Amino acid sequence: MKEKQSSEEPYEVKNSMWNWRGYSIRYQYSGSTGPALVLVHGFGANSDHWRKNIMVLAKSHRVYSIDLIGYGYSDKPNPRDFFDKPFYTFETWASQLNDFCKDVVKDQAFFICNSIGGLVGLQAAVMEPEICRGMILLNISLRMLHIKKQPWYGRPLIRSFQNLLRNTAAGKLFYKMVATSESVRNILCQCYNDTSQVTEELVEKILQPGLETGAADVFLEFICYSGGPLPEELLPQVKCPVLIAWGDKDPWEPIELGRAYGNFDSVEDFIVLPNVGHCPQDEAPHLVNPLVESFVTRHATPPASVSAASLYSSN
């Protein structure tokens, strides 16, 4: 019989691969008891961005962090292989997240999401509402480059710029300039208020997967993705409880605009994280981890009408 880990011992974080629709998906996991949590990273990041959260949360939860397809050490299929049908969309990633819960977690789960990961979590909860028990959105992307948020007179210029990046050598040259230690460090120092948290370890964990074959095509495809859902379109459709937390020093997603999301019925609270930037889970885990624990504790009792065993027994 396996000995129970003491609360003082660090919980081991294991890496594994999951086959999803013929693609290899990397994920990390830790913890053996308690409610399931799935941590969803943002644009250009990967499951290592939750390295300060997994071991702490694993003391009383089953914790999983996943590399969305196209990111981290998951496969990066070439978007051109899908011809005119976009592949790197929130619908694709939401399907991946829901299937992960059914195939790997084999249970309902709480989604803890950062930046564009918040759109993935919301879309997943809308598509299969029986899977998500509750969701925390950390500085969810406002999607300010979405076509609906651009003035009509600016849209042709945006399309021309996107075409330049996607279909000419300019895009690959741009990515080559971005995918360096110096550039990654500078970008992180923009979005972290406490720049002492931008360590060499963090820079390498963000950069290295971005040097893999196919990463440039995925990067360029996503920055040219100006369609798909907006948070304000998904939040009214979500059935599970949602908590929004926002670092008030985020230069990319201004809290003044984000506050409006707190008015939706599905959102139980909007919490300001003082002096924190765009990635609170990594910059201020001492604030985020207790927030996750208290939220999950409040919502961990499943409704009598839902049987997780019946949902996943066939998988």
The token duo for 109 is: 């789960």
Of 208, 187, 209, 203, the closest CA to residue 277 belongs to 187
The dihedral over CA atoms of 166, 25, 281, 245, expressed in degrees to the nearest 10, equals 70
pLDDT of residue 170: 78
Place of tokens 């460090």: 185
What is the predicted pLDDT for the residue at 7? 45
**pLDDT of 142:** 82
Nearest-angstrom CA–CA distance, 284 and 190: 16
* pTM assigned to the model: 0.90
Cβ pair 130, 306 in contact under 8 A: yes
- Residue 237: which pLDDT band, with cuts at 50, 70 and 90? very high
CA end-to-end distance (rounded Å), the chain? 26
Q: Token pair of 266, please?
A: 């599905």
Domains in the chain with CATH codes? 14-145+229-300 (3.40.50.1820)
Nearest CA among 40, 15, 44 for reference residue 28: 15
More confident residue, 229 or 56: 56
Tally of residues, the chain: 315
Pairing of strands 109-114, 132-138: parallel
> Which 8-state DSSP code applies to residue 262?
G
User: What pLDDT digit, counting tens, does each position of 294-310 carry?
Assistant: 999 999 876 444 444 44
Instruction: Tell me how far apart the alpha carbons of residues 292 and 88 are, in angstroms, rounded to a whole number.
Output: 28
In this prediction, residue 312 has a pLDDT band, given cuts at 50, 70 and 90, of: low
Q: How far apart are CA 307 and CA 251, in angstroms?
A: 42
175 pLDDT higher than 70: yes
Name residue, tokens 């059914």.
Answer: 102
pLDDT value, residue 151:
67
Angle formed by the axes of helices 215-223 and 155-167, nearest 10°: 170
Q: Which residues contact 160 (CB under 8 A, 6 or more apart)?
A: none
Q: Which pLDDT belongs to residue 148?
A: 66
Token couple for 45: 């990041």
Closest CA to 197 of 49, 63, 299, 309: 49
Among 51, 28, 67, residue whose Cα is nearest residue 283: 51
Count the neighbouring beta carbons within 10 Å of the beta carbon of residue 175. 18
Report percent pLDDT > 90 for the chain: 74
Single out the residue of 261, 204, 260, 217 nearest to residue 238, CA to CA: 261
Query: For 21, left (φ over 0), alpha (ψ -120 to 50), or beta?
Result: left
Summarised one tens digit per residue, pLDDT across range 242-299 is 999 999 999 999 999 999 999 999 999 999 999 999 999 999 999 999 999 999 999 9
- Angle formed by the axes of helices 200-207 and 181-191, to 10°? 110
Determine how many CB atoms are found less than 10 A away from the CB of residue 73.
18
* Predicted confidence (pLDDT) per residue in 133-161, tens digit: 999 999 999 876 666 667 666 677 777 76
CA 102 to chain centre: 18
pLDDT given at position 147: 65
